[in-house]
Structure 1
């Protein structure tokens, strides 16, 4: 291992074994981690002139990489310049992988990185243009998902070096998407937005970076000093919070990758948690990266820990779904509970969280008897428009009855006198 800190890892088995498909590419492999030395026996693997095996499900995209490479090679001496850039950065690229890549000879390693880098950028450009003749468009969503996986990464710096120096590529990017930099282009291609100049290590880290920047309601000095956070994050589930007078609200904001949570005036506000396979995959890979890259503050891991307190039963999902805090795209309510609970299986959770102040405020709120009584009255007698109308009508009739009774008593009293 070199002096540079690695940033691309194999997912630990304690996490991977819970849901292997969330970390395994379906169509395209990027980088060395899903290639195996020819000395390794892999069932069904295909061999080639390269010093590695590759599984058959990836062969179609390997062929597409060659097509993109050959197409790019027709225009000037760009490939020659790019190869020299990769050769100059080879050691730094190898150091980006925690697992040793020494089994891949230099010539083949440079070729691998160059082919994969060209494929990524040409794929993103092609899918944004929407060229009807490119057969890859039919598999766009699958390939795009593969590009997010932690084990399927190239270090971002090499993409930046290669394509920032290519004038023709940058001209196409700027004309089509008004993106002044490669970072802006990639963020745009994945539907992400960061106002400031982002600094991420690869595509998985890009999503983690967007998550971190969504914590706009946490003071900077608090967010960046986790060692000073109190050691508590105990929280009641959504149903009990609701019974304690807590209201839930969805935060209206652009973008869907957010860890934003706040509690003010009895209202817990969050971005809607979308229960579907896409978000499950993104969260899992970002959390795996946080678990492996120990210098990171585990903001996303803490968010999932927070969700695990909120969602413990079908009733919790129903409570949150009523207010749009949970969007169920996977079917039965029990599947949402299962998805949230399994997100944390195998994950090492610390004793502190960026949500500790919120947890404290929620506990204090729910301890108030007055608020619990009001919450009960609201749920029983004013749970919806019809119930509320019926309650008011009944109260009005009761008042009229009471007035009539008092009037009768007074009249009877006068008659008696």
Structure 2
């Protein structure tokens, strides 16, 4: 076969493959503003960590068995919203959703969501958007009943990477149902209260994330930026900062666990009390880690935040991993149930699972296929830990303290022994000096 014939054959083959490449695939690869499915499922003991358990939002999981009960609550919430804003709002909202249908569909990477004029899609956007609106309104007005549907699982569903509607849909519905709200009452500000129910310790007004509505992609994006913004402000220089050299990255995989650092090296772990749960600091043998609550849905939360961060950083050059690095650091610190116990007794981990081994296993699964880079956020903390752990003085002092001060009575016994030794020495010295010279 001649070279030209072979070139033509390969060229035809590639052209055929290019013709099968859909617009949705191209959007997924090049557009940060898209709502996509996670193609690679990470190994997990929980069933489909990216699939909703209570409520479907958007088209990907609509109509699936097990999620139908919440469809009734979507109608109930829509009725309650219309009762507050007036029946005329329904027609106004439907018209607004119909006008945004084409734009909204282009945000989804599934090529089956393509043609306009789909009444089901418009109805879905209306019901899902109004459900979120009314839920957030009820959360902000504690005297209002939420009909008993509030749970951690529901909130994690609302942050599912495959379970989103474009944020501009929520903003449009908010303004259509609140025509007198004014520019200062953006849905962004209105929705931020939701994050306090999902991320423990988040919600301090001094650290609130504020952004224009058109800069938010969806609710998961809002919560991701709210979680990372105050911590990200510490890294003012774009791109990788001076951290762990590439040659030393391998040592991070062997970072001493929390139990060993405490038992052998005398490292102390304390709750820093910081608002951002990412803000870990350390020095002089003390590691300050903000309190973090682990419950049955924490793995789903971390997996969805990590999956979104990997996508987000890919489309923003001057950004770095924050959630990934947090998970990596905690995953290296926790190798066993004993490590979880150390952090739990230090009031750093609140274990709602009531099983320390389950927490250790969860962090190991979450970090199973993500790896640190030379812009690792906790490089300074890691370096300080390594330096402190390698100090022979600290190792000796820790062993000495464990040997002689391992019980409440040990200090008293030690002091008594020292006093007895001093008295014996003085007595011997006195005896020697009191003998008459020969």
Q: Which TM-score band applies after superposition, normalised by the shorter structure?
A: 0.7 to 0.9
Instruction: Give the Cα–Cα distance (whole angstroms) in 2 for the partners of residues 338 and 354 of structure 1.
Output: 23
What is the aligned partner in structure 2 of residue 348 from structure 1? 370
1:30-51 superposed Cα distances (whole Å, 9 cap, x missing partner): 101103xxxxxxxxxxxxxxxx
What is the aligned partner in structure 1 of residue 329 from structure 2? 306
What is the aligned partner in structure 1 of residue 240 from structure 2? 226
1:349-399 superposed Cα distances (whole Å, 9 cap, x missing partner): 243311122222222222221222223223333456543344334333333
Task: Indicate if the aligned counterparts of 1:4 and 1:95 stay in contact, CA closer than 8 A.
Answer: no
SS in 2 for 1:274: strand
**Equivalent residue in structure 2 for 1:252, among 273, 276, 280:** 273
Give matches, 1:61-76, under 5 Å.
Answer: 61-73=70-82, 75-76=86-87
Structure 2 spans left out of the alignment, 5+ residues: 1-23, 197-201
Measured after TM superposition, the shift of residue 55 of structure 1 is 2.7
Superposition TM-score, scaled by structure 2 size: 0.77
Higher relative contact order (CA 8 A, sep 6+): 1
**Equivalent residue in structure 1 for 2:193, among 188, 192, 198:** 188
Measured after TM superposition, the shift of residue 277 of structure 1 is 1.9
What is the aligned partner in structure 1 of residue 259 from structure 2? 239
What is the aligned partner in structure 2 of residue 286 from structure 1? 305
Alpha-carbon RMSD:
3.1
Structure 1 spans left out of the alignment, 5+ residues: 36-53
Task: Indicate if the aligned counterparts of 1:5 and 1:95 stay in contact, CA closer than 8 A.
Answer: no
Superposition TM-score, scaled by structure 1 size: 0.80
What is the aligned partner in structure 2 of residue 394 from structure 1? 417
Instruction: Give the Cα–Cα distance (whole angstroms) in 1 for the partners of residues 180 and 366 of structure 2.
Output: 39
Measured after TM superposition, the shift of residue 24 of structure 1 is 2.4
Measured after TM superposition, the shift of residue 152 of structure 1 is 1.2
Instruction: Give the Cα–Cα distance (whole angstroms) in 2 for the partners of residues 401 and 216 of structure 1.
Output: 62
What is the aligned partner in structure 2 of residue 322 from structure 1? 345
SS in 2 for 1:268: strand
Instruction: Give the Cα–Cα distance (whole angstroms) in 1 for the partners of residues 236 and 98 of structure 2.
Output: 40
Measured after TM superposition, the shift of residue 163 of structure 1 is 0.8
How many residues are treated as equivalent by the alignment?
A: 385
| 1:163 corresponds to 2:186 | no
What is the aligned partner in structure 2 of residue 211 from structure 1? 227
**Equivalent residue in structure 1 for 2:36, among 2, 5, 9:** 9
Task: Indicate if the aligned counterparts of 1:226 and 1:354 stay in contact, CA closer than 8 A.
Answer: no
Task: Indicate if the aligned counterparts of 2:102 and 2:116 stay in contact, CA closer than 8 A.
Answer: no
1:156-207 superposed Cα distances (whole Å, 9 cap, x missing partner): 2221232135436849xx9xxxx94322221113324343414542222233
